[in-house]
Amino acid sequence: MTRLLKLVVRYQIWKDKKGQDLIEYALMAGFVAVAAGALMPNIAAQITTIFNRVESIMTAAATA
């Protein structure tokens, strides 16, 4: 445990923010999609189709 603590302190892992922007943009896109689906029910089916495609592509990439 001490070795792990020294590693965290040495490299300041808690300050690593390299992937933070990507996650924030993905969350914002998701919120916009949910809001659009709530405000415009006709678009909800199209949004569902897009998310299903993204899910299938990511699943295929993860298993490859």
Q: Where are the domains of the chain?
A: 17-63
15 pLDDT tier (thresholds 50, 70, 90)? low
41 pLDDT tier (thresholds 50, 70, 90)? confident
Helix (DSSP H) and strand (DSSP E) numbers for the chain? 3, 0
This prediction has a pTM of 0.43
Identity at 21, one-letter amino acid code: D
For all residues of the chain together, what is the average pLDDT? 77
CA terminus-to-terminus distance, the chain: 34
